[in-house]
Structure 1
């Protein structure tokens, strides 16, 4: 059997654009949809390149144990020396913002003040550590899960003890200082093959749902063909920040080949990094206007990796 690219994921909609690009370039691939399944640990994995696109938000699509099963599969693959892009270290960071922040800091990357808490009493007590507005978010998240803004501990306590409150799937809720952007935007830096590809400005004035994939779009109000409205996603020309080199070093040290890293700048110009997405997606409208394609770049990287693959004896 000839080697091919194996796509490890749990979301067909997010994977379709990649498959289209692989087919355009005649790259052989196989779909591994790991929402559930089984592996015989005595089996020998097929030869090929294994691209891990597992998402921290899988439980929102009723794929509760997909990350855990993926971790088991990747452990099996790595034990046989298979080439995994976004490997077991990357997966561990995908499903834990606490893990992300600790490792980002090791690479000289500024992150917001964050407290991790388990239990409502500990959560409400931790809120008193913030003098200024703060937000909550889920430790295992994606799609802005659990993000709420609070001005004081009292409003947080009322929320936590209401029916509106729901815990992170791993039980860890984060309290984080609120970084206010002067223009209500964040920046998402995209990396392919561990190298910077482009940065996209994301308008956050309408909320925290920041997934750039087309299936996460909020409606016609952000359509770039609508003259009276500004597009939600817009690729930044000639983006050049010193932190890019830190990001690339962080990715290399943690087995991350493909990622989107989100950051925000306050009114003083301080740049805070607050999220790493190893299951990165792209906005088609923004890319079309900028004449660039993230999925095409990923497909080209996978094709090159496959061509350079040496058979395991």
Structure 2
């Protein structure tokens, strides 16, 4: 399938122009892009994708999806609105408010950057005193949008989390990813695993219960997620599935033929061809 990559570094657009680069556009904007360049394209891409959508392009994981992807706080609100459980959390926009917001939560807690990626911007604190010292020493995470989450740590049953991948609002596959409780870089993709110094993580194909599959599909549809993953942890304390992350990226598992026995990229190409065909008919 022929395609043309669009690099956002150095990119610009004219809001008054009617020109489109293509009738079908696949967004590959990653939240972790701020780790690679301080002048990241996350917020620029929201405006750009909105421009293309208004001109009639079919954008896979468009501007609305990107807005959800770039806010862990909005993700939790969306998941809760569907009647699904999330970790107990508080949201603030000033680091000085973290201590007050943590009152009433059970420790350990995680302080998370609202915009993260590949585990970036997550720090675990085992007591209020640890959190207080970190606040005084300015050792809290920093989010590029200044929003922070304080979230109760959920002990994962079996020391692992589940990532359910969806395509077109339908379940595609699931993997079980090792979660030790002190490392939060659980990205399963080739690009993540290839990073120098990154500790290998255990992952394996999984068959989730139907209720988790249906929940992931509901989340994907509510988020207008054409392509991406939904992460859930089974709370070892009471067995409650707690959904906590929506990833609007086709970060398919590394070495899929070994892990899954098939390549999800084949399904993605079929999906894109179908979307392009629908656009041509319209």
Q: TM-score, normalised by structure 1?
A: 0.82
- Contact preservation (8 Å) 2:47, 2:63: no
Partner SS, residue 154 of structure 2: coil
Are residues 1:243 and 2:217 paired? no
Are residues 1:152 and 2:127 paired? yes
Which residues in structure 2 correspond to 1:253-272 (within 5 Å)?
253-267=222-236, 268-272=238-242
Deviation at 1:36, TM superposition (A): 3.8
Which residues in structure 2 correspond to 1:201-212 (within 5 Å)?
201-205=176-180, 207-212=183-188
Unpaired runs of at least 5, structure 2? none
Which residues in structure 2 correspond to 1:159-170 (within 5 Å)?
159-162=134-137, 164-170=139-145
Match of 1:280 in 2: 250
Which residues in structure 2 correspond to 1:31-180 (within 5 Å)?
31-43=5-17, 44-62=19-37, 64-162=39-137, 164-180=139-155
Q: Which region of structure 1 is more displaced relative to structure 2, 245-254 or 31-40?
A: 245-254
Task: Tell me: CA distance 1:109–1:311, structure 2 relative to 1, closer, same or farther (3 Å).
Answer: same
Q: Distance in 1 between matches of 2:175 and 2:77?
A: 25
Deviation at 1:142, TM superposition (A): 1.1
Are residues 1:232 and 2:206 paired? no
Q: Distance in 2 between matches of 1:190 and 1:47?
A: 26
Q: Distance in 2 between matches of 1:193 and 1:67?
A: 23
Match of 2:192 in 1: 216
Task: Tell me: CA distance 1:241–1:134, structure 2 relative to 1, closer, same or farther (3 Å).
Answer: farther
Partner SS, residue 29 of structure 1: coil
Partner SS, residue 272 of structure 2: helix
Q: Deviations over 1:133-192 (max 9, x none)?
A: 211111011111221222221101111222543411111111001100132111100111
Q: Distance in 2 between matches of 1:220 and 1:289?
A: 19
Q: Which region of structure 1 is more displaced relative to structure 2, 204-213 or 256-265?
A: 204-213
Task: Tell me: CA distance 1:291–1:28, structure 2 relative to 1, closer, same or farther (3 Å).
Answer: same
Deviation at 1:63, TM superposition (A): 5.2
Deviation at 1:311, TM superposition (A): 6.3
Task: Tell me: CA distance 1:220–1:118, structure 2 relative to 1, closer, same or farther (3 Å).
Answer: closer
Q: Distance in 2 between matches of 1:145 and 1:46?
A: 32
Deviation at 1:234, TM superposition (A): 0.8
Task: Tell me: CA distance 1:115–1:221, structure 2 relative to 1, closer, same or farther (3 Å).
Answer: closer
Q: Distance in 2 between matches of 1:262 and 1:186?
A: 7
Are residues 1:291 and 2:261 paired? yes
Q: Distance in 1 between matches of 2:39 and 2:32?
A: 9
Q: Distance in 2 between matches of 1:154 and 1:240?
A: 39
Are residues 1:29 and 2:8 paired? no
Partner SS, residue 160 of structure 1: helix
Deviation at 1:301, TM superposition (A): 0.9
Partner SS, residue 50 of structure 1: strand
- Contact preservation (8 Å) 1:97, 1:139: yes
- Contact preservation (8 Å) 1:36, 1:65: no
Q: Which region of structure 1 is more displaced relative to structure 2, 121-130 or 95-104?
A: 121-130
Root-mean-square deviation over aligned CA pairs:
2.1
Q: Distance in 1 between matches of 2:212 and 2:64?
A: 21
Q: Which region of structure 1 is more displaced relative to structure 2, 189-198 or 33-42?
A: 33-42
Match of 1:11 in 2: none
Q: Distance in 2 between matches of 1:71 and 1:258?
A: 17
Deviation at 1:220, TM superposition (A): 9.5
